[in-house]
Amino acid sequence: GNSVTQMEGPVTLSEEAFLTINCTYTATGYPSLFWYVQYPGEGLQLLLKATKADDKGSNKGFEATYRKETTSFHLEKGSVQVSDSAVYFCALIITSGTYKYIFGTGTRLKVLA
Amino acid sequence: GAGVSQSPRYKVAKRGQDVALRCDPISGHVSLFWYQQALGQGPEFLTYFQNEAQLDKSGLPSDRFFAERPEGSVSTLKIQRTQQEDSAVYLCASSLRRTASYEQYFGPGTRLTVT
């Protein structure tokens, strides 16, 4: 079946540290992949996406590359800020026979000043 | 409106009560989705509408859950005879059209607590 596996949190980093949040997926075919972010008290927001193999999504200093060989879509940022503290969700989209996201369980990031 | 809105934001129900949760999608968005998010988990798909047609309801956990979108805009998720395991945040999302690259825009959610 289709599924998304994320590294468990929480992840605690100091400001300006390098961030990696691992995400791997299992799916039929090659679905589009997404990272969503949920800031405290707010709704889910799209952070970045990639629609085919080797695509790199990027936004707000975050990047993720769609790796077909390793079925991965790891999220990275070179220098995190306190304002990046949030919960990050990796997701894939199913469009065959339906239209829905499959989400990972989320990874909480806490950045300390 | 500017975004997806949901009401109420918080709902406390006694076990056995019926509840109705409302979603107002972004104007012009043809696709509408409901997800359930348990504490500490990712959202899980409940159901999907394309305009007024409910095309997938495979995620609804039981026949106590019912969703409708009669005019292809506002949607209501109804839970009958609520149980404690129904406690969760219920998220609504909308999308402009049904393609793989189009993002879904999420509302703030309704937090349902069943006591």
Question: Taking residues B49-68, what's their average pLDDT?
Answer: 95
Instruction: Give which of B31, B36, B25 is closest to B1, Cα–Cα.
Output: B25
CA dist B99 and A68 (Å) reads 20
Q: How many CB pairs below 8 Å do chains A and B form together?
A: 67
Chain A CB contacts of B106 under 8 Å are 36, 43-45
Question: Taking residues A77-105, what's their average pLDDT?
Answer: 93
The amino acid sitting at A39 is: Y
Mean pLDDT over each residue of chain B, to the nearest integer: 93
Chain A CB contacts of B48 under 8 Å are 98-100
CA dist B31 and B48 (Å) reads 7
Q: Answer whether B107 touches A (CB < 8 Å).
A: yes
CA A112 remoteness from chain centre = 21
Question: Taking residues A19-47, what's their average pLDDT?
Answer: 92
Give the residue from chain B lying closest to A88, CA to CA. B42
Using an 8 Å Cβ cutoff, are B34 and B60 in contact? no
- Taking an 8 Å cut-off on Cβ atoms, the answer to whether A105 and B108 are in contact is no
Confidence of residue A29 (pLDDT cuts 50, 70, 90): confident
Mean pLDDT over each residue of chain A, to the nearest integer: 94
Residue A21: CB partners within 8 Å, gap ≥ 6? Answer: A6, A7, A11, A74, A75, A76, A88, A90, A107, A109
pLDDT at site B100:
54
The amino acid sitting at A53 is: A
CA A48 remoteness from chain centre = 8
Pick A103's closest partner by Cβ from B4, B43, B101: B43
- Taking an 8 Å cut-off on Cβ atoms, the answer to whether A95 and B99 are in contact is yes
> How crowded is the C-beta side of B61, counted as CA atoms within 13 Å?
16
